[in-house]
A and B are shown apart, each in its own frame.
Chain A
């Protein structure tokens, strides 16, 4: 809200430079965002938090200043002469049909006013806070709004059919043209001010054009009310119509200020625009009168702040904020809370009042919190290890949006067939789903990079996917690891194997062919660890590549990270470095196409030869020297004994045993 440096002095004669004022307000919780010079004045843009609607007027801000400088608050006199205008009940009437949405409505009548431009001082004041002068009546209602925070509206009472006010819900489809020219179509949850025929204002938001004060206006009906904050907010959002009034009603106005502001405006109208005020006021008040009283214990305050505050200081601060001390004990006192401080109803709230005016800067930066045993976080440890391995292998981590469009289902689903969780109020209608896999987002990242000329995109993401579990249940949030690599299928599989190795996972990785829409028919597998499905790996299919217009042939793996966590063994122990040398033997064998590497390796391992230390794959060869339908596989076996140097003859025997077994079980021969 905008505050004028000079105008504010009407309510508290403070002796602060504009910089000092801005700093003091900020330190008390009213952040001054900007200070702009306006002629011989300054306009301060003050940020008022949602719990402090009382500061949406000059008097409220002045109250804060008075408490800060321990000065006096000057509240203008609002008495005026209402003896010459007849009795108000003879002139108009107010009916409230919905007293939940309108809890208080006051009307005053001022007759025979003279409409014209406001006096210069008034124009200058409202201009200093960014309002445009219109005419004396409108300017006065704006002035009082700024002064008190209570919105007012002046109707040309001669334009009200039957001259009476009805506060009711709008009828569905009813229309009204607002003062700013917008044509509003209303619905039945909106509250309107109406005459006997039609709506003349949208309650708390904006008046209607038809009944606005014009040069020809002579008689004024002055409205000051309390409208339900929630209702005003909803109507305002729904109509896309916001005003200084709606801003304040939404945040709740001071119930007791409703009448004060009306008097204040009536008095000013009489002084500036002349005329006679009708006697009295119509005041329909359904607000409950709940006086709040709170007790503060100084020991509690000191303990919570970690700072000793004198009781007199606390009292002084609260009294300046217009709390009334009602009782006092040795260690504390009780206060009555003023009506405009709906945010204060507990001891803790009083502690905050004292703390913020006393100054947070006075609270010492000190502590004796000491040390404490912390918990071991397995998830973090494993995550960090995994990311270190993948990053070390040259992959960059990406973070993509959890909210996705329907394209995530285009090439088949991974983790769940159930429809994705849907956001009811998305920002973009085409992005309203919670992702069920990461892979599609990584493809989009690849695409984005390719568009900007980055051809090689080795990337990964470790994040959640959301698998629905039922309409009223929270979804399963599965932690997934998705890796996109540009170096081919086996290179990507190597990355996964490296992770398994670093996480010390005992189960060996199994790849089982799996038809999957995203992947090419031959390079597409389900990965298993023991009995668990770890995830999927594959080379993108031709359709996907052309769909994304990729210039390379990326491979992707998506893994269930929870399985990795489950299988990880963080407790590893040292293994003795072998003392005796190894004997290596290289093999080139010829087999049918149907025989896999896993078959060959498994066959060798099945012999359970203690001296076989490792079996290393070299390559597969198909070509001229090999007959059709067969292939040559080259590998090395490393033999080693823990307790002696193996002799060549011993290894020869083992080698022979292996070859015989390969031949018998798989029809594999040594290549000629």
Chain B
């Protein structure tokens, strides 16, 4: 019997040595130690039928062998565990490789600014309106209470096309066009291109974008103007900005105002962007001049309103710290892809 046990011992050793996976080890375990049909188990089960002297020695040897094989199996298993762990640390895939990119196009930064501003005013129930870029002098000047001898009408401030046609120099033209076709109440903004024969430099372009705004109803007051434009400026520039409304002059508003916000770059301390003043101008506004209402046939005793205008390039430059307006129209993809 001892021979048989020795033979089993060698076989088990050989089997385990050849085993290459945990699954194989488990199979070997079942083969030798399995409760049903395991080689060792069967021998132990058969012990009661042996002669008494064989019983004792075989029992002892079989138990020793059972424990021994059990130990080998555990050792073999441990070996797999560590070699599995070790193989995990080997670089089979470089996780630091960059992701693959599908091209993603962007809207022009000026479009993004216009969209954002439209979004803010839509929340305040303003409609979006558009008007022609080539205009009659009437809409660009006369109807806006700009007298015939006003400097802005001269050649160096407006592009002319002949026969009283021009490239609009302000989106205020849309105020008139909207009031001509609509009765109050009106709440609208009008984004669009405007043109001026400025010599092109870092701050001036001959074509740029404005957004005009208009609100007309009974009882609209200057405090409504302050309210709406404060909501706008805080939404666009941030809740923490300070604002300053100061008197100014536009022919089509009276009283008129220019609106400054605290310089976001220096937090009002003074820097080159705000010319050391701590303030940057962002909006022109005012109460609609009664002459404008008279022109479009509104009763200026019954209705009041306010109008405002802003430069899209300027707001975009302030927001991103862009120092040259020409970048918007050169359309260098290295610029456009930053927004």
Interface residues of A (CB under 8 A from B): 26-29, 31, 33-34, 49-52, 229-230, 233, 237, 250, 303-307, 346, 348-349, 351-352, 355-356, 360-361, 363-367, 369, 371-375, 377, 379-380, 384, 387, 390-403, 421-427, 434, 445, 448-449, 452, 454, 457-460, 463-464, 466, 471-472, 474-475, 477
Contacts and interface: CB of A to CB of B under 8 A. Distances in A.
B334 A454 contact: yes
Given A51-B249, A449-B332, A391 B224 contact: no
B195 interface: yes
Contact of A366 (B111, B227, B276, B329): B227
Contacts of A377: 127-128
Contacts of B222: 304-307, 355, 360, 363
A364 B149 contact: no
A306 B223 contact: yes
A670 B222 CA distance: 79
Contacts of A458: 103, 105
Given A346-B290, A445-B331, A401 B207 contact: yes
Interface of B: 102-108, 110-111, 115, 118, 122, 124-128, 130, 132-136, 149-151, 154-156, 159-165, 167, 185, 187, 193, 195, 197-200, 206-207, 215, 217, 219-224, 226-228, 230, 244-249, 254-258, 275-277, 287, 289-290, 304, 328-334, 336-337
B149 A229 contact: yes
B338 to A, nearest CB: 11
Contacts of A365: 223, 226-227, 230
B241 to A, nearest CB: 13
B221 A31 contact: no
A375 to B, nearest CB: 5
Contacts, number: 230
11 contacts: A374-B125, A379-B130, A380-B128, A394-B105, A395-B105, A396-B333, A402-B207, A403-B206, A422-B161, A424-B161, A472-B163
Contact of B134 (A375, A421, A425): A421
B206 A391 contact: no
Given A29-B246, A396-B337, A397-B107, A464 B133 contact: yes
Contacts of B256: 352
B134 A398 contact: no
B132 to A, nearest CB: 6
The 8 residue pairs across chains A and B that have the minimum distance between CB atoms = A306-B223, A394-B103, A29-B247, A306-B221, A352-B255, A367-B227, A356-B247, A49-B249
A321 B207 CA distance: 40
A661 B39 CA distance: 75
Contacts of A457: 333
A391 to B, nearest CB: 4
A269 to B, nearest CB: 34
Nearest to B199: A427
A452 B334 contact: yes
A52 to B, nearest CB: 7
A364 B223 CA distance: 5
B104 A391 contact: yes
B275 A33 contact: yes
B161 A421 contact: yes
A472 B134 CA distance: 12
Contact of B331 (A384, A399, A403, A474): A399
Nearest to A347: B290
With a 10 A CB-CB cut-off, give which of A304, A307, A403, A463 has the most chain B CB atoms: A304
Given A230-B149, A402-B133, A452-B332, A306 B160 contact: no
Contacts of A373: 125
- Central interface residue in B133, B187, B193, B247, by most chain A CB within 10 Å: B247
A304 B249 contact: no
Given A229-B149, A369-B228, A403 B207 contact: yes
A392 B246 contact: no
A360 B122 CA distance: 27
B328 to A, nearest CB: 7
B127 A375 contact: yes
A449 B331 CA distance: 8
B223 A367 contact: yes
Contacts of A372: 125, 185, 187
Contacts of A351: 254-255
Contact of A423 (B108, B111, B167, B199): B167
Contacts of B227: 365-367, 369
A303 B221 contact: yes
Contacts of A34: 275-276
A513 B219 CA distance: 61
A459 B331 contact: yes
B127 A474 contact: no
A471 B247 contact: no
Contacts of A472: 163-165
Most chain A beta-carbon contacts within 10 A, residue among B230, B244, B331? B331
A399 B328 contact: yes
A479 to B, nearest CB: 10
B108 A355 contact: no
A126 B227 CA distance: 45
A398 B331 contact: yes
Nearest to A372: B125
Contacts of A52: 249
B247 A374 contact: no
A475 B132 CA distance: 9
A426 B224 contact: no
Nearest to B289: A348
B223 A237 contact: no
B271 to A, nearest CB: 14
A401 B136 CA distance: 21
B219 to A, nearest CB: 7
A452 B337 CA distance: 15
Nearest to A464: B133
Given A424-B160, A458-B103, 13 more contacts: A26-B246, A29-B248, A303-B219, A348-B290, A355-B222, A360-B226, A369-B217, A374-B127, A399-B110, A425-B159, A426-B159, A434-B167, A448-B332
Contacts of B118: 380
Contacts of B255: 348, 351-352, 355-356
Given A380-B128, A474-B134, A355 B334 contact: no
A463 B125 CA distance: 26
Given A230-B149, A360-B245, A397-B108, A402 B193 contact: yes
Contacts of A49: 248-249
Nearest to B110: A399
